[in-house]
Chain A
Amino acid sequence: MKQTYALAIHGGCGNVVRGRFNEEQEQAYLKTLQESLRNGQQILEEGESALQAIESAIRILEDSPLFNAGRGSVFTHLGTHEMDASLMDGNRRRAGAVTGVKRLRNPISAARSIMEHSSHVMLAGAGAEAFAEQQGLEFVTPDWLFDQTRWDQYQKALGENRQFMDHASDDQKYGTVGAVALDRHGNLAAGSSTGGITNKKHGRIGDSPIIGAGTYADNATCAISCTGEGEYFIRDVTAHRVSALMEYAGNNLSEAAANAMKSLEQIGGHGGFIGVDQSGNIVMPFNTQGMFRGSVSEDGKLFVKMYEEV
């Protein structure tokens, strides 16, 4: 077995503003992040794969009602839930993604199943659910996904703005969860999962299920998971851009992260991402006021934060 391992996670960056949460709420968020990290760390500690670690860490965030993914997913314009997820194995650059699923407990596990048990990368909507059913994945009823806070946000967004494509409320706009990991065998993996944007219309798909935009992993470079205004990450192909900067411009991970953020800002994008490289270096840049994030490495030092550093 090789050297070290490392894991980083994020829980979105859209509404992480000082004064928004009371101390109890802050503690609840940080505690869930810690739980996710400890879970992924245990897997890595035992020499299991980065892929297993990120899937498991993301499942914990999906099962929490706090984050906009899985159980905590926001409501669409029609009062339903549409979830997206993707993951990528940096070892063979295999990938899986799912978009517009409504009844799956853990979209990230469906993405993994698509990667491992189909010849496709992305499956959508009812077709994706049919595949997941064949694969024996867990389905949930709408009450699993119902959350009063999300419902109130949805009603607010509906009431505030009936205009075309405009959902004035900033609540949870950039909510996503994600994880990146390096395992003891030197393999990298990345994954992202989201419930989209509150009051979203028209079957909008953001960057989370898009390989190269919201998620990318390649053992030769890095593993990346993004969160933010998805459209900008799609246009700037952010996750792959970080990798390309390392592969072709000779950047190290932190230089590549800084350059990719600069590129994103040139088109006006807001958000952030987490990344890990072959040596276990971790980056977590963002240009919003905060980002739920955390990391842990072999020395056991666990780090969780939600606001910008001061």
Chain B
Amino acid sequence: MISRLTTVIVCGLLAWSLTACEPGDNADDSTAAAQQKDWALVIHGGAGTISRDMEDELREMYEEGLEAALQAGSEILENGGTSLEAVEAAVTIMEDDSLFNAGRGAVYTNEARHELDASIMDGSNLEAGAITGVTTVKNPIKLALEVKQNSRHILFAAEGAETFADETDVERVDNSYFNTQRRYEALQRAMSSNELMPGQEDYYSEGHDLGTVGAAALDQDGNLAAGTSTGGLTNKKFGRVGDVPIIGASTYANNNTCAVSTTGTGEEFMRNVVSHHVSALMEYAGKSLQDAVDHVLHERLQPGDGGIIAVDHSGNLVANFTSEGMYRGTADSDGEFSVAIWD
């Protein structure tokens, strides 16, 4: 313990003198250790223009969906399961809920089909898996997990990813499984307003849900994990790939710092390497999780770009956003259990 503390102090001094700490040592350990939680979980179901005039019934449906995902993940963590299992479970529930733009509720591409992306990362060994452009996988997060566990690669795309899925037990569905009336109407609106070409300024305005689902967790063994899943952009063309399958952009986890999942204008999250950026601010600038998230949201991203959820190695939870709202929920071993949509 003494040597650990010494390391922390020395590292703090080094950080003060603007010299790099060894990766793995963190200047924040000393203060956070006092309030170490056994486990903690944070989830999101997308950020964006979420009208406060939403009907009560719909709002309750969203809240129930978030609570179900939060509950499933919390039970796993409470019973000593891994953060990776909790992330998978929470994301799977949101993928199966047609309210969220991931899995069942995936939006339509310009060809009126569905292409799904997902990624997952294990903070204990920095292993990761991701897939982009799959069309027949019921739960993309499960296929991302298969990539992580059963291949030496990280990211598989499109038909190749489907071939990989053939070699696993993940559940397959026809692409029409993802058809929903609500998303189809959104496609019609997007097409009729002739927003076909990316490049238009209002490409991300109303009608283009910045929908994504994600989760980040700390388990009782002190391991962090994060995962994200999406149905992409309504009316997307040209095989656009967003931030969701990109490790370091949307998803990142490292036991030494934090686990992060993002939602929002994917391109901005890619350019700013957002999820790794949060971790780097903790690792190299000695910032707390809250300060790191706020720094990226306010100093690097533009207002309205979206939101970030994160948990650090002490179990501190953050779910911040600069959009009008973000579907989200937090739970931990101290009895926290809540969901919210707006401020």
Contacts of B167 in A (CB 8 A): 164
Instruction: Judge whether B20 and A165 touch: CB under 8 Å.
Output: no
| Interface residues as binary, B262-297 with A (CB distance below 8 Å gives 1, 0 otherwise) | 000011001111001100110111000000000000
Q: A240-B280, A250-B20 are in contact. Are A165 and B152 (CB under 8 A)?
A: yes
Interface size of A by Cβ–Cβ distance < 8 Å? 56
| Interface residues as binary, A206-225 with B (CB distance below 8 Å gives 1, 0 otherwise) | 10001111001000000000
> How distant is the Cα of A124 from the Cα of B200 in the complex, in angstroms?
20
B335 within 8 A of A: no
Instruction: Judge whether B238 and A234 touch: CB under 8 Å.
Output: no
B303 within 8 A of A: no
> How distant is the Cα of A127 from the Cα of B20 in the complex, in angstroms?
42
> How distant is the Cα of A250 from the Cα of B15 in the complex, in angstroms?
8
Instruction: Judge whether B155 and A204 touch: CB under 8 Å.
Output: yes
CB distance from A240 to the nearest CB of B (A): 4
> How distant is the Cα of A230 from the Cα of B121 in the complex, in angstroms?
16
> How distant is the Cα of A206 from the Cα of B252 in the complex, in angstroms?
17
CB distance from A110 to the nearest CB of B (A): 11
A108 within 8 A of B: no
Instruction: Judge whether A201 and B248 touch: CB under 8 Å.
Output: no
A31 within 8 A of B: no
CB distance from A248 to the nearest CB of B (A): 4
Instruction: Judge whether A249 and B284 touch: CB under 8 Å.
Output: yes
Excluding A121-B241, A202-B164, 18 further A-B contacts by CB distance (< 8 Å) are A202-B160, A203-B161, A203-B163, A204-B153, A205-B155, A205-B156, A206-B155, A210-B248, A211-B246, A212-B249, A234-B154, A235-B128, A235-B247, A244-B281, A247-B284, A248-B280, A249-B284, A262-B23
> How distant is the Cα of A216 from the Cα of B240 in the complex, in angstroms?
20
Contacts of A235 in B (CB 8 A): 121, 126-128, 154, 247
Contacts of A230 in B (CB 8 A): 154
Contacts of A130 in B (CB 8 A): 237-239
Interface pairs (18), CB distance under 8 Å:
A117-B199, A119-B198, A123-B239, A123-B241, A124-B158, A124-B241, A127-B237, A164-B167, A201-B163, A203-B158, A204-B156, A212-B273, A234-B154, A234-B248, A235-B154, A236-B126, A244-B277, A249-B285
> How distant is the Cα of A120 from the Cα of B129 in the complex, in angstroms?
23
Q: A95-B270, A202-B160 are in contact. Are A245 and B284 (CB under 8 A)?
A: yes
Q: Within residues 60 to 86 of chain A, which ones have a CB less than 8 A from any CB in chain B?
A: none
Instruction: Judge whether B156 and A202 touch: CB under 8 Å.
Output: yes
Contacts of A236 in B (CB 8 A): 126
B235 within 8 A of A: no
**Chain B residue nearest to A126 in the complex (CB):** B239
Contact of A237 among B132, B158, B161, B273 (CB under 8 A): B273
| Interface residues as binary, B214-253 with A (CB distance below 8 Å gives 1, 0 otherwise) | 0000000000000000000000011111100011110010
Q: Which of A118, A130, A166, A251 has the most CB of B within 10 A?
A: A118
**Chain B residue nearest to A244 in the complex (CB):** B280
Contacts of A120 in B (CB 8 A): 198, 238, 240, 267
B177 within 8 A of A: no
CB distance from B109 to the nearest CB of A (A): 9
Where the two chains meet, the residues of B that have a C-beta atom closer than 8 Å to any C-beta of A are 15, 17-21, 23, 121, 125-128, 132-133, 151-161, 163-164, 167, 198-200, 203, 237-242, 246-249, 252, 266-267, 270-273, 276-277, 280-281, 283-285
| Interface residues as binary, A8-51 with B (CB distance below 8 Å gives 1, 0 otherwise) | 00000000000000000000000000000000000000000000
> How distant is the Cα of A263 from the Cα of B25 in the complex, in angstroms?
12
CB distance from B68 to the nearest CB of A (A): 31
A255 within 8 A of B: yes
CB distance from A187 to the nearest CB of B (A): 16
| Interface residues as binary, A281-303 with B (CB distance below 8 Å gives 1, 0 otherwise) | 00000000000000000000000
Q: Which of B17, B160, B249 has the most CB of A within 10 A?
A: B160
Q: A203-B161, A250-B20 are in contact. Are A94 and B271 (CB under 8 A)?
A: yes
A112 within 8 A of B: no
Instruction: Judge whether A131 and B238 touch: CB under 8 Å.
Output: yes
> How distant is the Cα of A128 from the Cα of B227 in the complex, in angstroms?
26
Instruction: Judge whether A244 and B284 touch: CB under 8 Å.
Output: yes
Contacts of A123 in B (CB 8 A): 238-241
Q: A231-B153, A245-B284, A259-B20 are in contact. Are A118 and B199 (CB under 8 A)?
A: yes
CB distance from B225 to the nearest CB of A (A): 14
> How distant is the Cα of A51 from the Cα of B161 in the complex, in angstroms?
33
